[in-house]
Chain A
Amino acid sequence: MKKLIGLFILTVIISCQDTPTEVFTDSFDRKAMLVYWADHIIIPSFEAYDKSLDDLVVAKNIFIENEDIASFENLRVAYLSAYVSWQTVSMFDIGKAEEISLRNYTNIYPADENQIQSNIQGQNYDLDLPSNFDAQGFPALDYMLYGLAEDSNAEITLLKGKDFSNYLNELVDRLKSLNAEVLNDWKTNFRDSFINNDGSSATSSTDKLVNDFLFYYEKFLRAGKIGIPAGVFSGSALSNAVEAPYSEIYSKQLFFAGFETIQAFFKGVSFEGVQNGTSLEDYLIHVAEQNNTSSISDEILAQWALAEQKALALGDSFRNQVEVDNIKMLQTYDELQKAVILLKVDMLQALNIQVDFVDADGD
């Protein structure tokens, strides 16, 4: 009897399995999309970021030379504008950027104050080490320019110290050299392999970049900028975990820079904002037309509009927002989260793309 039942259950299980999916053939021109992405979104974004880093290097050099309040304020301005610009390239974690872990060396926060102080004091450190991810990049600069002392004059006094100015110098130069490597690779080499890898395998450019887009949205935008400080993953709010906590008033601006990048990429808005080219929205519409269904893209855009509405209600300082009225952070998170399902399930299914990352184990 047992054997029979076993056999029977086996039959049922087998017959319950999904019918084999048809080989997916959509006639969408992936290559044209990749060319547009590379030439009108990605490379111009890296170029603009590179330019903002040039300005930052200059401002840093002037400050180190003069060590006065005017050059310090100027350095802070350049810092902010480079940090905002970074948000437009963070999601493109592909090619050289992925290979050298550009994002890990640029924007892992909260910064580790103790590690930064011990690097400065010890003068013996290796910024290539993963354990120094959170002691460099913009979060470390935020600390160096806003978190060392009570006011600007006291900041400047500290930064006049040779050890401090050396570290500042190295942080800024390193941001520039890392990105220069990535930009150079896009221009000399990677663009061609990127646009020619136009198939639909898991390692094709489209599949990989769509995964990067999702990963960025889920981990860095939704969780990093909103969810983690709001305490979604820890149970209690962590106001120190916001982006740029020392300068304080820029976290909202940085969030929107990232959020707008996500939406522009999805819609195919060029970096200059003047052109509307082929991108994921068109791809989804195309597939929907082929299958005679309605496109998921409208739902995604509508969901983002709701998230944007919630985010607009947040204050400039997320740290303050978390401490005073965290519910608004949570509401923003919830709307962002609803789009994850649309993107990760519905969109990927429509485009026949597999998720290539899993939720981290957390240990």
Chain B
Amino acid sequence: MFKPFLLILTALILFSCSEDKPNPQVENPAFYDFERKGQSTVSFSGQTTRILMATELLQSMLDFNMTSSQLLEMYTNESPTGQDVGPFGNPELNASSKSIKSKVAASIDFFSANTAESAAIKSDFENWIIAQVEEVYPNQNQLATQGVAGQIADGTSVRYVNGKGLEYDQAVGKGLIGALMVDQMLNNYLSPAVLDEANNRTLNDAQITEEGKRYTTMEHKWDEAYGYLFGLSTDASDPLSTLGEDNFLNKYLARVDNDSDFTGIAQEIFDAFKLGRAAIVAGDYHLRNAQAEIIRKKISELVAIRAVYYLQQGKSGIPTTGNNYGPMFHDLSEGFGFVYSLRFLRKPDSDDPYFTRTEVDGFINQLISGNGFWEISGETLDFISEEIASKFEFTVEQAGS
């Protein structure tokens, strides 16, 4: 009986939304294709490089022949004294002057005046990398037990955990999703402080491109945000057709989009990126900022949903009998990294994060206090899940399945 009313109401909403439609100058293309004089102006090679560096670092953390200095060089891409190093298997990455570490917790909005926290976060990653070598490597051929690092079966897979059940490689991998990709995207490149820096607007309005490049600075900054999500996509102009092409944000956008509770999130994010970029071309900065807020909201949701998902998976994996801890440890290790990433989420239409450092530290401590995953309770996991979900429009139940 509500249906006709709903239809009218929906029509009303659609109609009222349409007043916000882009002004006629904005040409919103079907795909992320933007050209100047017949040539593409889209560029984000630096993001692709960093995603590839992170990929190789993660693989190497499970190569038990590595040393901690080799792994740390992959993180810093320089020696402790600042000399050039070649830690990667891929020579292009060695040739690059970029590094993972320099962009960890390094956004202009959250960390430019908060360098103490930035340094602490940067060294969290270093500590996990070192601990992998010092705690886990020596116990490669030992079964993990409470308080003792080693290997544990997760189905037919083998996982390598510390004494608390945490896989350091998962902490690093899922932690980088927040500390590198999300922070750079939401709090740096989509920020007016970066997009409108110096005379970017004037140059963009006049279509003055960077020296030797086909893009304006503002266009490029926007693309760099895009690159942290779609940097490894086969076809960067149509990335949704092949979603799931890295082990970071892209992969989990695919996962969340596959959950029927959240289907459509990938399209929403892509559409906002595309329209925002078109708005820059047209010089419509109001529209650009509106798209940035959509991206902030949706990317933040994505990470929070995934954090709750893994905590809930971990909860349902707590063995009731026997000692099949492997699957639960793996879920909670991924969850640990996503919880760590919460710190970098950005409330839309606000300068504030969703979670403070203190809040996130509180969650982390609850996860790994005492014997960590070996003795964590379902109540604790539910508590953290509820705390996370309460800041968003989804429920623990929706995220958890």
The answer to whether A and B assemble together is yes
A: residues with CB less than 8 A from B are 5, 8, 11-12, 15, 98-99, 101, 104, 108, 126, 128-131, 133, 203, 358, 360-361, 363
B141 & A126 in contact (Cβ 8 Å cutoff): yes
Set B6, B141, B321: member contacting A129, Cβ < 8 A: B141
A104 & B141 in contact (Cβ 8 Å cutoff): no
A133 & B153 in contact (Cβ 8 Å cutoff): yes
A5 & B9 in contact (Cβ 8 Å cutoff): yes
For the complex, give the distance between the alpha carbons of A130 and B6 in Å: 56
A8 & B9 in contact (Cβ 8 Å cutoff): yes
Given contacts A5-B13, A8-B9, A363-B247, contact A130 B322 (CB under 8 A): no
8 A–B contacts from the bound complex (CB under 8 Å): A98-B324, A104-B153, A129-B158, A130-B151, A130-B158, A133-B153, A133-B158, A360-B155
B143 & A129 in contact (Cβ 8 Å cutoff): yes
For the complex, give the distance between the alpha carbons of A360 and B157 in Å: 10
Q: How far is the CB of A309 from chain B (nearest CB, A)?
A: 30
A203 & B320 in contact (Cβ 8 Å cutoff): yes
The answer to whether B15 has its CB under 8 Å from any CB of chain A is: no
**Which chain A residue has the least Cβ–Cβ distance from B150?**
A129
A12 & B2 in contact (Cβ 8 Å cutoff): yes
**CB proximity to A under 8 Å, residues B344-367:** none
Given contacts A98-B322, A99-B322, contact A133 B156 (CB under 8 A): yes
Choose among A11, A12, A203 the residue with the greatest number of B CB atoms under 10 Å from its CB: A12
- CB-CB under 8 A from B321, the residues of chain A are 99
Q: How far is the CB of A20 from chain B (nearest CB, A)?
A: 15
**Which chain A residue has the least Cβ–Cβ distance from B5?**
A8
A130 & B152 in contact (Cβ 8 Å cutoff): yes
For the complex, give the distance between the alpha carbons of A358 and B317 in Å: 11
For the complex, give the distance between the alpha carbons of A363 and B254 in Å: 14
A128 & B9 in contact (Cβ 8 Å cutoff): no
> A-B pairs with the 9 shortest C-beta distances?
A130-B153, A130-B158, A99-B322, A131-B158, A108-B156, A130-B151, A131-B151, A104-B156, A129-B151
B: residues with CB less than 8 A from A are 2, 6, 9, 13, 140-143, 151-153, 155-158, 247, 313, 320-324, 326, 334
**Which chain B residue has the least Cβ–Cβ distance from A356?**
B316
- CB-CB under 8 A from B6, the residues of chain A are 8, 12
For the complex, give the distance between the alpha carbons of A144 and B140 in Å: 26
**Which chain A residue has the least Cβ–Cβ distance from B170?**
A363
Choose among B143, B156, B321, B326 the residue with the greatest number of A CB atoms under 10 Å from its CB: B156
- CB-CB under 8 A from B13, the residues of chain A are 5
For the complex, give the distance between the alpha carbons of A108 and B321 in Å: 24
- CB-CB under 8 A from A15, the residues of chain B are 2
Q: How far is the CB of B86 from chain A (nearest CB, A)?
A: 28
A101 & B320 in contact (Cβ 8 Å cutoff): no
Q: How far is the CB of A192 from chain B (nearest CB, A)?
A: 16
Known interface pairs A99-B323, A104-B156; 13 further A-B residue pairs with C-beta atoms within 8 A, sorted by A's residue number: A5-B13, A8-B6, A12-B6, A126-B141, A129-B142, A129-B143, A130-B151, A131-B151, A133-B153, A133-B158, A203-B320, A360-B155, A361-B334
- CB-CB under 8 A from A101, the residues of chain B are 153
**Which chain A residue has the least Cβ–Cβ distance from B1?**
A15
- CB-CB under 8 A from A8, the residues of chain B are 6, 9
For the complex, give the distance between the alpha carbons of A4 and B9 in Å: 11
- CB-CB under 8 A from A133, the residues of chain B are 153, 156, 158
For the complex, give the distance between the alpha carbons of A24 and B213 in Å: 68
A128 & B2 in contact (Cβ 8 Å cutoff): no
Q: How far is the CB of A136 from chain B (nearest CB, A)?
A: 13
For the complex, give the distance between the alpha carbons of A361 and B247 in Å: 12
Q: How far is the CB of B316 from chain A (nearest CB, A)?
A: 9
Q: How far is the CB of B336 from chain A (nearest CB, A)?
A: 15
For the complex, give the distance between the alpha carbons of A131 and B157 in Å: 8
- CB-CB under 8 A from B158, the residues of chain A are 129-131, 133
- CB-CB under 8 A from B140, the residues of chain A are 131
Q: How far is the CB of A195 from chain B (nearest CB, A)?
A: 17
Choose among B13, B151, B153, B324 the residue with the greatest number of A CB atoms under 10 Å from its CB: B153
- CB-CB under 8 A from B326, the residues of chain A are 130
- CB-CB under 8 A from B143, the residues of chain A are 128-130
**Which chain B residue has the least Cβ–Cβ distance from A101?**
B153
- CB-CB under 8 A from A203, the residues of chain B are 320
For the complex, give the distance between the alpha carbons of A341 and B155 in Å: 23
- CB-CB under 8 A from A131, the residues of chain B are 140-141, 151, 158
- CB-CB under 8 A from B320, the residues of chain A are 203
- CB-CB under 8 A from B247, the residues of chain A are 363
For the complex, give the distance between the alpha carbons of A99 and B6 in Å: 54
Q: How far is the CB of B50 from chain A (nearest CB, A)?
A: 20
Q: How far is the CB of A23 from chain B (nearest CB, A)?
A: 21
Q: How far is the CB of B161 from chain A (nearest CB, A)?
A: 11
For the complex, give the distance between the alpha carbons of A15 and B322 in Å: 42
Q: How far is the CB of B245 from chain A (nearest CB, A)?
A: 13
For the complex, give the distance between the alpha carbons of A99 and B323 in Å: 7
For the complex, give the distance between the alpha carbons of A358 and B9 in Å: 39
For the complex, give the distance between the alpha carbons of A361 and B320 in Å: 22
- CB-CB under 8 A from B151, the residues of chain A are 129-131
Q: How far is the CB of B148 from chain A (nearest CB, A)?
A: 14
For the complex, give the distance between the alpha carbons of A360 and B317 in Å: 13
**Which chain A residue has the least Cβ–Cβ distance from B310?**
A361
For the complex, give the distance between the alpha carbons of A201 and B12 in Å: 47
**Which chain A residue has the least Cβ–Cβ distance from B313?**
A358
For the complex, give the distance between the alpha carbons of A12 and B6 in Å: 9
- CB-CB under 8 A from A11, the residues of chain B are 2
**Which chain B residue has the least Cβ–Cβ distance from A360?**
B155
- CB-CB under 8 A from B9, the residues of chain A are 5, 8
Q: How far is the CB of B312 from chain A (nearest CB, A)?
A: 11
**Which chain A residue has the least Cβ–Cβ distance from B173?**
A363
**Which chain B residue has the least Cβ–Cβ distance from A8?**
B9
Q: How far is the CB of A91 from chain B (nearest CB, A)?
A: 15
- CB-CB under 8 A from A5, the residues of chain B are 9, 13
Q: How far is the CB of A355 from chain B (nearest CB, A)?
A: 11
Q: How far is the CB of B187 from chain A (nearest CB, A)?
A: 27
- CB-CB under 8 A from A128, the residues of chain B are 143
Choose among A12, A358, A361 the residue with the greatest number of B CB atoms under 10 Å from its CB: A361
- CB-CB under 8 A from B313, the residues of chain A are 358
For the complex, give the distance between the alpha carbons of A126 and B141 in Å: 8
- CB-CB under 8 A from A12, the residues of chain B are 2, 6
- CB-CB under 8 A from B142, the residues of chain A are 129
Q: How far is the CB of B17 from chain A (nearest CB, A)?
A: 11
For the complex, give the distance between the alpha carbons of A108 and B156 in Å: 7
For the complex, give the distance between the alpha carbons of A15 and B6 in Å: 13
For the complex, give the distance between the alpha carbons of A128 and B155 in Å: 14
For the complex, give the distance between the alpha carbons of A128 and B143 in Å: 8
For the complex, give the distance between the alpha carbons of A11 and B313 in Å: 29
Q: How far is the CB of A354 from chain B (nearest CB, A)?
A: 11
For the complex, give the distance between the alpha carbons of A343 and B6 in Å: 37
**Which chain A residue has the least Cβ–Cβ distance from B13?**
A5
For the complex, give the distance between the alpha carbons of A104 and B151 in Å: 15
**Which chain A residue has the least Cβ–Cβ distance from B16?**
A1
